[in-house]
Amino acid sequence: MNENAWDYRETDARPQGIDLRGFKVEAVDGSIGKVDKHSDEAGSAWIVVDTGPWIFGKEVLLPAGTVSRIDVAEETVHVDRTKEQIKNAPEFHRETHLGNADYHDELGAYYLLGAPFGGRPF
């Protein structure tokens, strides 16, 4: 992960103009859901993942810095975190956390701790 959790990595080769909604999301240890919404705003890029039954239908917000690669042909976003690390991230509520600077800072700090695998010490 780069120093800013909210930017895609330069090596990621984030394809411009591609709508990621509906892409599968794969953690290092398995599927976590599908992209429901995404932002490509510089310094504030992220994906919202609908986890379906994995964590009881909750959504999670992942900073763009967690994305290790995007496979357009397979419509899959790969992230460099485990399912457990994602599950233990600060809880996300779309209505209150999208655009919330305090949540943005809290989540960014969570994913930057212990890079490259992020998250609080387990």
Tokens describing residue 3: 């120093």
What is the percentage of the chain residues whose pLDDT exceeds 90? Answer: 52
Residues 35-59, mean pLDDT to the nearest whole number:
88
Could you tell me which residue, 1 or 28, shows the higher pLDDT?
28
- Contact assessment for residue 120 and residue 22, using Cβ atoms and an 8 Å cutoff: no
CATH architecture of 10-112: Roll (2.30)
Please choose, from the candidates 84, 78, 76, 79, the residue with its C-alpha nearest in 3D space to the C-alpha of residue 20: 76
User: Would the pLDDT of 117 be above 50?
Assistant: no
Place of tokens 């103009």: 17
Torsion angle, alpha carbons of 103, 104, 109, 114, to 10: 110
Phi (first) and psi of residue 106, to 5 degrees: -65, -45
Q: What global pTM score does this model have? A: 0.86
**pLDDT at 55 (0 to 100):** 76
The pLDDT value recorded for residue 38 is 93
